[in-house]
Amino acid sequence: MPNFPFTDNMENATRNLYEAIDKNIKHNQDGSLSVFWLSVIPVVLISDHEAVRIVNNKTNLKKPYLYKLIDFGTGLLTSKPDIWKVRRKLIEPFFATKKLKGFVKVMNEEVTSFTEQLNGEIGKPVNLESQIHYSTLNIILKVVTSLPLKDSFLVKKAAVEIINEKTEYVIKRGANPFYWFDWIFRFFQFGRTYFKNKEDGEKLLSYALHRRKQLSLSNEPEDQDLIHLLECKVDEKGVFDEFITMIGAGHDTVAVALRWILFNLGNHLDKQERVYQELVDLFPDDTPVDDLDRINQCQYLEQFIKESLRLNPSVHGTAKVLEEDVTIRDKKLLKGSYVWTIISSTHRDPSVYPDPDKFDPERWTPENASKIPQGAFIPFGYGPRSCIGSRYAMAKLKIYTIQIVRKFSLKSTRKTESIPVKFEVTLKPVLPLEIILTPRNGNNNQS
């Protein structure tokens, strides 16, 4: 089996790791089980939907040690099972449908402002990466902390810098066991730079929590933000860890997904037109996009988004440490084994998705979607430790897409298949996802 080599080149590390895993998973003809050496650790790779269901069950909740390198402390993404169980139960009501219906109003306000800013980008190739990241971060900060947007500029700057550094450094650290230990990592210049920037950024994020305490906030349950919910049951360190986890996982994954959705719209103009015709019937002219029930009536839009998430998932894979022996296709995996679920490979299984590289939203009609087995579509993970905010993320992606497509037609400057990707914490394009925005003429009721 191929071994991922040590490297001093960051771009090579993130790019080579993606390619090595991809080649390794294809080494076995059935694509269900293979072994990959990440430095000194053998990692079992799975992609078959049956294996996904077996591994990601209610028993296997433990994350590998390498998740510690993401540096989210005891947050939901990286915490040990005992802490995770308590926090998950505490946070779940925050993402219930009733709360989500309130969130869409916050989302609509920010996305309306974001869409207006796009008027300055029309008629030329534009990479919306930074604009999208800051905009999605605006929403998560408002939802999690209730901080007014005017108070959050420095916080946003700190958050983006911390998250970018984490995603950039975690793969390089993971590839070299000497970098796993902080005291060794600090001997290297890039290690010292990482910890200095991390310390500065976390001071600003701590300031945000301090600033929030000075606000006069509603005590009504439906108006309470996530920090208020946590402060009642979790210590200060735990609140901070969940805060940084939510702004990291809650905006970076959505931002990457949205960039791919817009790029795919620009590569499939006939499908873009169909999305447009559907949404302007439900949201004509400048109708606010803040009614969750109406948003969810956009059936073809949801099909398009799901197909984009299938082919371009934000996360390449998730990892577990087996807490019991499991058997997959007559192969026994022992307790303590590291297992990675490779989402991008799961999503291209030809036995589930005929012509798997083809972009086809028709896979997601109610009739066709009912035939897709559990564990075969997992953009937000699978099992108990799947993403707690998946419905929140889908609502946000829909609102952005509705607002943008009803005001602009999109044309991509490259084909999707020509864009290589790199494996950081999220699965990111190596080249800019440039699109050309053209204002739609007349009102939104005309085709």
Known binding-site positions: 387
Partners of 317 in the beta sheet? 342
Residue whose pair of structure tokens reads 């090595």 in the numeric block: 20
CA distance 90 to 93: 7
CA distances (Å), origin 178, targets 39, 71, 175, 290, 339: 10, 17, 9, 50, 22
φ, ψ of residue 434 to 5 degrees: the values are -85, 140
Residue whose pair of structure tokens reads 């447009």 in the numeric block: 276
CA distances (Å), origin 10, targets 15, 164, 192: 8, 13, 16
Partners of 340 in the beta sheet? 45, 319
Cβ pair 358, 303 in contact under 8 A: no
Cβ pair 143, 227 in contact under 8 A: no
Cβ neighbours around 51 below 10 Å, total: 24
CA distance 63 to 46: 16
Beta strands in 180-316 (DSSP E): none
Question: What residues have CB less than 8 Å from 117, skipping those under 6 apart?
Answer: 131
- Please name the amino acid found at residue 308: S
φ, ψ of residue 187 to 5 degrees: the values are -70, -25
Question: What residues have CB less than 8 Å from 347, skipping those under 6 apart?
Answer: 310, 311, 313, 353, 356, 376, 377, 378, 379
**Annotated binding-site members for heme:** 387
Cβ pair 134, 160 in contact under 8 A: yes
CA distances (Å), origin 53, targets 193, 274, 296, 316: 41, 35, 28, 17
For residue 13, with 0-12 CB atoms within 10 Å meaning exposed, 13-18 middle and 19 or more buried, which class applies?
Answer: buried
Helix axis angle for 189-213 and 236-267, nearest 10°, is 110
